[in-house]
């Protein structure tokens, strides 16, 4: 027969389910887990920051490259415009040389009254506009001006300047035509005539 010693069982120390020691271990374990989680998050945050910095640097590099391309494009456009301006200037210079060469006191142009008109035309100039042909007849009474311009407003401005020449004072043009030549985008052809047509043998074209 087995006997139970109830007194010894009562004397044994009974610990609560979560004693102070156990609570301490639990808190320590939680702290360790939090530290590990923080470390993982910190490493991940640093990695994300590094990626952000790399992307920002790449964005800056691309922006610099874009600015360089824009500057190169602007330079090319300036060069193209410069070439076009030089071509226009050379055309104008060539025409004026021919115009001045045509003013010869020894020819019958003086008798026909052409010299004064040509001199007046030669004195007037507007950048971006030039004449390609001049037609004179009836001693300069009938006049046709044919040329090219980079802007339509240059033509009336040229006529205003031309009116300051005494030989052209009060002159009126009855025909005014303007068109865009084929294959051109920044050039306009214009034609000014004192009459509807000029077809008599006395016409004097200068090219």
Write the pLDDT tens digit of every residue in 154-207. 999 999 998 898 888 888 888 899 998 888 778 899 999 886 554 443 434 434
Task: Please report, in angstroms and rounded to a whole number, the separation of the first and last CA atoms in the chain.
Answer: 145
CA distance 109 to 203: 12
When pLDDT is cut at 50, 70 and 90, the band that residue 63 belongs to is low
Confidence band of 33 (pLDDT split at 50, 70, 90): confident
Give dist(CA 146, CA 158) in Å, integer: 13
Q: How far is CA 15 from CA 6, 8, 28, 29, 32, in A?
A: 18, 16, 20, 21, 26
Please name each of the domains of the chain with its CATH number: 103-193 (3.30.1360)
Interatomic CA distance for residues 55 and 52, integer angstroms: 5
Q: Cα separation of 165 and 160, whole Å? A: 10
pTM passes above 0.85: no
Neighbours of 175 (CB within 10 A): 13
For residues 181 and 189, what is the distance between their CA atoms, to the nearest angstrom?
6
The mean pLDDT of 53-82, rounded to a whole number, is: 69
Q: How far apart are CA 121 and CA 148, in angstroms?
A: 15
- Tokens coding 9: 């069982």
Per the CB < 8 A criterion, the answer to whether 178 and 187 are in contact is no
Q: Using one digit for the tens of pLDDT, what is the confidence trace for 95-133?
A: 666 655 554 545 444 444 567 778 888 888 888 888 888
CB 168 within 8 A of CB 122: no
Do residues 193 and 146 lie in contact, with contact meaning Cβ atoms separated by under 8 Å? no
């Amino acid at each position: 027969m087995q006997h139970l010693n109830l007194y010894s069982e009562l004397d044994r120390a009974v610990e609560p389910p979560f004693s102070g020691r156990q609570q301490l271990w639990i808190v320590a374990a939680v702290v360790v887990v939090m530290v590990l989680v923080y470390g993982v998050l910190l490493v991940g945050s640093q990695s994300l920051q590094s990626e952000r910095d790399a992307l920002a640097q790449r964005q800056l590099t691309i922006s610099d490259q874009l600015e360089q391309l824009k500057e190169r494009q602007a330079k090319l456009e300036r060069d193209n415009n410069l070439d076009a301006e030089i071509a226009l200037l050379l055309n104008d210079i060539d025409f004026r040389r021919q115009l001045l060469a045509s003013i010869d006191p020894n020819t019958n142009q003086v008798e026909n009254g052409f010299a004064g008109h040509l001199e007046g035309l030669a004195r007037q100039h507007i950048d971006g506009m030039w004449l390609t042909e001049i037609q004179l007849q009836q001693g300069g009474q009938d006049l046709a001006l044919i040329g090219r311009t980079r802007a339509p407003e240059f033509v009336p401005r040229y006529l205003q300047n031309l009116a300051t020449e005494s030989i052209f004072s009060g002159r009126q043009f009855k025909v005014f035509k303007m068109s865009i030549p084929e294959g051109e985008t920044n050039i306009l052809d214009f034609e000014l005539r004192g009459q509807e047509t000029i077809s008599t043998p006395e016409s004097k074209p200068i090219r």
